[in-house]
Structure formats: structure tokens, C-alpha cells
Structure 1
Amino acid sequence: MSEIDTPFRAPYGTPFGDLVRSAKDETGLSYRDLAKRAIDPITGVEVKYATLFRIAKDKPIMLEPGVIGAVAAAIGRPERDVRIAASQQYCGLVADDPFEMSNDETTVVVVHAPGMGRKDMPKVEALLRRYAAGDLPAELSNTDHSSSS
């Protein structure tokens, strides 16, 4: 167990804290050293070591624009993964790709209740497969279907 690990576990786990703790353990860097890398590449927002420490202690933080990107930069993980972990830990939402449809060009993220899996979302899977095949119902396409005669 990490020196920062805590017996507290949020109702839906602590994946955000887990990412930060793992990065610290894997790199051997302190939170101060990780914070030197914690700069969001888009907004320039910087996250200080105290924020990384709070995340690792599974405490709530202010999630202003740029914070997730800065944490991702600090721990060397894709922003998408960090954003998903934070949403699960702080909001109780599981956001993942239960249908394994993401690729280099497209990211598929389905937000769902904890405990749900692919088998629990057959309509979502069918809709995503239709979308991937280019076969969408008119109400879900960008095509203007109103026509004048």
C-alpha cells in the first residue's frame, strides 16, 4: 500500500487518485516533481503539488478548465483516461468504451451507471454500430430532411 493510500474508498472507487498514486510510484517522483510537469498544453493552467497530493489522498478538488489536462501532463497519461477517472470518482459516473469501438480517429465514450456493462446496453450498442456503418435515423443525422414541394 502506498504511503498516501487511504482506507477511504469513494462509493464508485478512487480511479483518479489511483492514477496519481500509480504515477508517483512508477516514476519515483515526488508530488512536487510531478507538479513541475503539471501544465495543461491547451490552457496553460498549472496544477500545484498540493492539488496532486489532494487527488492522491482521494480528496475533492476544484475542477476548473485545464486542471484535467495538467494532471494528465503530470502523470503522463492521456487526458481522456484522466477525465474518465475523475468523472467516476467525483460524480459516480462510469465513462468508458464498453463496446471497444474507439480507435485512433474516433473515441467512443458511454457514460453509464456503475455496474452496467455491454450486455446491459443492447440499444446503445445497436445505435453505435449503425452509426459506425453510416446508417443513422434521420433525427440523429445532420441532414436537413425538410423539403418543399
Structure 2
Amino acid sequence: MDALTHLVQAHVGEGRPLRIRQFADRAVDPETGWTPSKSLVGNIVAGHQVKVTPAIIRAVAAGLGVPLCMVQTAAAEQYLGLVLKPEGAADD
């Protein structure tokens, strides 16, 4: 699954709440102040493989204006294959 890609693409791009430039301007890691380069933002939006770090995850959450845990979960699913199930959900 490309969960992180789908999450970003649901918020960023033509006909979405944020333009790429707006997302890039808002994507600032609140802990360190680090901001991804414009090319890295473009790669994230396009769904290209990126080296995921905690700073990128925090910056993406800030850029999208969504809870950090939502971006962490999407990144874990896309890059680690980890799928979290709600409590009480049956195993497949």
C-alpha cells in the first residue's frame, strides 16, 4: 500500500485543499524547524520513494495540518508493511 502517498495526495494538488507550494511552506518540523527541500516535497507528493525520518514525518503532518499519528501510521504502512488494526478486529 502507498498509504503515505495517498494521504499526501488526498490533501495536496490540483482540486485539493492545498497547492504544492502551500504544502511546502507549511511543512516545517515543529521540533527542529527543519524544512524539506522543494524537490523532496515534490517527490513526496508524486509518491516517489524517499528516505523517511522523524523530521520528515513531523514536517508532513504540519504541512497537511493532520495529527502526527496519522502520518506515522501511513508511513509505517507504506515503508514497513505494518498494518495496524483497531482494537478487537479479527486477524486475517
Does residue 120 in structure 1 map to residue 88 in structure 2? Answer: no
Question: Which runs of no fewer than 5 residues in structure 1 stay unpaired?
Answer: 1-12, 101-117, 122-149
Higher relative CO (CA 8 A, sep ≥ 6), structure 1 or 2? 2
Radius of gyration: which is bigger?
1
Total equivalences in the alignment: 90
Alignment of 1:80-91 (within 5 A): 80-91=69-80
1:28 positional shift: 4.1
**Alignment root-mean-square deviation, CA:** 1.9
What's the CA shift string for 1:43-90, capped at 9, x where partnerless?
212123322221222211122231100000111111100011011111
For residue 113 of structure 1, what is the aligned residue in structure 2? none
For residue 68 of structure 2, what is the aligned residue in structure 1? 79
Please state whether the residue corresponding to 1:95 is helix, strand or coil: coil
Equivalent pair of 1:43/1:66 in contact (CA under 8 Å): yes
Alignment of 1:85-104 (within 5 A): 85-96=74-85, 98-99=86-87
Identity of aligned residues (%): 32
CA distance in 2, matches of 1:14, 1:89: 5
For residue 59 of structure 1, what is the aligned residue in structure 2? 48
Matching residue within 5, 15, 34 for 2:3: 15
Matching residue within 17, 21, 30 for 1:27: 17
TM-score (norm 1): 0.54
Equivalent pair of 1:16/1:85 in contact (CA under 8 Å): yes
Does residue 70 in structure 1 map to residue 59 in structure 2? Answer: yes
Please identify runs of 4+ aligned residues in structure 1 that moved more than 4 A: none
Normalized per residue, which structure has more strand? 1
